[in-house]
Amino acid sequence: MKITIIGTGYVGLVTGSCLAHMGNQVICVDNNKNKIAKLKKGRLPIYEPGLKEIIDSNIKDARLSFTTDLSSAVQASEFVFIAVGTPMDEDGSADLQHVLAVAEEIGDTIDDYKIIITKSTVPVGTAEQVRKTIKKKIETRGLAINFDMVSNPEFLKEGRAVSDFLSPDRIIIGTDSERARDRLEALYNPFCRTDGSRILFMDIASSELTKYAANAMLATRISFINEIAAVCETTGADVDQVRIGIGADNRIGRRFLFPGIGYGGSCFPKDVQSLIRSAAKMDIDLQILKAVENVNRDQKNLMVRKIKDYYQRDDLKGLTFAFWGLAFKPETDDVRESPSAVIIKGLLSAGAAIQAYDPAAIETFKQMYELPIKYNADMYACLEGADALVLATEWHHFRRPDFARIQNELRSPVIFDGRNQYDPDYVAGRGFNYISIGRRSVREANETAAR
């Protein structure tokens, strides 16, 4: 099958390479010339486990190519995926300018029947807007070219994007065309050979809303457990035990109930806000989601409050913090809306100095935030001479670090853990003062030394 993917970011690149991996002929288009030039040389613009191998092998077998020429790509394809960014507008709505610009370009260039697919996360009604935009352009050209619209939102998780795409929990296809439905089913069948019922067909509006509702539900679980964590801290309960206790109920389940320093990334914050905004435009007040957002905003500031409480002062001048983790979650270099940025800015503005380590996200963080940070390529060297360690992203190799080395490098043995990676008793036994989320703090061991 011949496919064009427009937008070669986290979603477009994974979609394109995984579709090529199944034997399809895929052209990936982007208007960022540097990105395309890099990709043509086999260099990836993002970090995503397993992606490089798939891209390399499909380029080698001539199933995957990259271009800035949207027109030729569209003309050579039956399926045209729109996977460009839909960032947050100033008021929190989804900014559709890239999607609609692409629709105009498709309308200017389409020469034969195509299936146009919105893969970007877009509010209900966007596929119709794209349809109208393309139709209008075709009419302006004095032509009558048939095409179908499909909404096919993406559910991959950064850090596991390739395996999510190759073995999806479900594939949502919203369309009003039998022809498009059959073709999409044929395209996606190889990804669902064990269970074809994972391809779910629905109308376009329901498909568009499913994506927002899914992210809103997941964000709600995170804010919910973060609120429960706050209750744990003041009552002496342990949020780890509570989450295991509630997660044992099948109706609740264990996943997505980890307390922390708030959700970030390019999806949850923007999708929750976009859903709130688009509902408000229809006079629907999404009260739960507004609370979810507020709790999350507070949660991102929680660690700075905890640090100030620990030192019993608002002014952190003279203190240096070693910071482990800049990405918004492990296994990605994505730092958009990362809680780390909020915490680092809070510490810097209180006068502290920061030395930071992340295995994948140092370059992206530098580019996006331009903060006065001393970056370190080594997780232990990053600790040298710091007054405390702040853990903000749960990369696997932070789970069982060399605590003796941490203690040697730090000026005082203090860990602020935003991801509850360690057992409080274990770190206490090794002489650390340890502050985490929703669990008892260990402050006795070296209280005096730490001040």
Ligand X SMILES: NC(=O)c1ccc[n+]([C@@H]2O[C@H](COP(=O)([O-])OP(=O)(O)OC[C@H]3O[C@@H](n4cnc5c(N)ncnc54)[C@H](O)[C@@H]3O)[C@@H](O)[C@H]2O)c1
By CB under 6 A, residue 352 contacts ligand X: no
Minimal distance, residue 267 CB to ligand X, in Å: 5
Minimal distance, residue 356 CB to ligand X, in Å: 23
Q: Indicate which single residue of 3, 4, 9, 365 sits in contact with ligand X (rule: CB under 6 A).
A: 9
Stretch that binds ligand X, among 26-34, 189-197, 343-351, 441-449 (CB under 6 A): 26-34
- Interface with ligand X (CB under 6 A), residue total 26
Nearest to 428 by CA among 407, 410, 409: 407
Q: Give the CA distances from residue 64 to residues 15, 39, 61, 81, 394, in Å, rounded to whole numbers and listed in that order.
A: 11, 11, 8, 15, 34
Closest residue to ligand X, Cβ-based? 9
Our CB check for ligand X shows the closer of 98 and 114 to be 98
Q: Give the CA distances from residue 292 to residues 34, 215, 247, 419, in Å, rounded to whole numbers and listed in that order.
A: 38, 12, 20, 19
Nearest to 54 by CA among 20, 96, 9: 20
Minimal distance, residue 159 CB to ligand X, in Å: 9
| Alpha-helix runs per DSSP H in 22-82 | 33-40, 51-60, 70-75
Our CB check for ligand X shows the closer of 14 and 352 to be 14
Pairing of strands 114-118, 79-82: parallel
Our CB check for ligand X shows the closer of 103 and 415 to be 103
Our CB check for ligand X shows the closer of 85 and 418 to be 85
Pairing of strands 147-151, 171-175: antiparallel
Our CB check for ligand X shows the closer of 102 and 386 to be 102
Q: Indicate which single residue of 4, 77, 85, 324 sits in contact with ligand X (rule: CB under 6 A).
A: 85
Tokens of 425: 């008793």
Q: Give the CA distances from residue 164 to residues 48, 66, 118, 157, in Å, rounded to whole numbers and listed in that order.
A: 12, 23, 19, 7
Our CB check for ligand X shows the closer of 109 and 121 to be 121
Stretch that binds ligand X, among 56-64, 79-87, 241-249, 311-319 (CB under 6 A): 79-87
Minimal distance, residue 363 CB to ligand X, in Å: 15
Stretch that binds ligand X, among 4-12, 138-146, 187-195, 288-296 (CB under 6 A): 4-12
Q: Indicate which single residue of 3, 28, 30, 232 sits in contact with ligand X (rule: CB under 6 A).
A: 30
258 vs 290: CA distance, rounded Å = 20
Tokens of 259: 């307390």
150 vs 154: CA distance, rounded Å = 13
Our CB check for ligand X shows the closer of 29 and 304 to be 29
Pairing of strands 320-324, 388-391: parallel
Minimal distance, residue 265 CB to ligand X, in Å: 7
Q: Indicate which single residue of 4, 19, 35, 278 sits in contact with ligand X (rule: CB under 6 A).
A: 35
DSSP 287-343: HHHHHHHHHHHHHHHHHHHHHHHHHT-S--TT-EEEEE--SSSTT----TT-HHHHH
Stretch that binds ligand X, among 78-86, 312-320, 404-412, 421-429 (CB under 6 A): 78-86
Stretch that binds ligand X, among 83-91, 180-188, 285-293, 443-451 (CB under 6 A): 83-91
Q: What angle do CA 265, 49, 9 make, to 5 degrees?
A: 50
Sheet holding 79-82, edge to edge: 64-67, 25-29, 2-6, 79-82, 114-118, 147-151, 171-175, 199-202
Q: Indicate which single residue of 5, 84, 242, 275 sits in contact with ligand X (rule: CB under 6 A).
A: 84
Handedness of CA 439, 445, 448, 451 (dihedral sign): negative
Q: Indicate which single residue of 24, 266, 273, 436 sits in contact with ligand X (rule: CB under 6 A).
A: 266
Dihedrals phi, psi of 204, to nearest 5 degrees: -65, -45
Site string for ligand X, 153-172 (x = CB under 6 A): -x-x-x--------------
Nearest to 450 by CA among 438, 437, 435, 433: 433
Q: Is 170 exposed, middle or buried (0-12, 13-18, 19+ CB in 10 A)?
A: middle
Stretch that binds ligand X, among 151-159, 195-203, 240-248, 352-360 (CB under 6 A): 151-159
Nearest to 198 by CA among 228, 165, 231, 162: 165
Minimal distance, residue 73 CB to ligand X, in Å: 10
Site string for ligand X, 91-130 (x = CB under 6 A): -------x--xx-----------------xx---------
* Catalytic residue positions, numbered: 267
Our CB check for ligand X shows the closer of 276 and 442 to be 276
Our CB check for ligand X shows the closer of 10 and 258 to be 10
345 vs 17: CA distance, rounded Å = 37
Residues that bind ligand X (CB under 6 A): 6-12, 29-32, 35, 83-86, 98, 101-102, 120-121, 154, 156, 158, 266-267
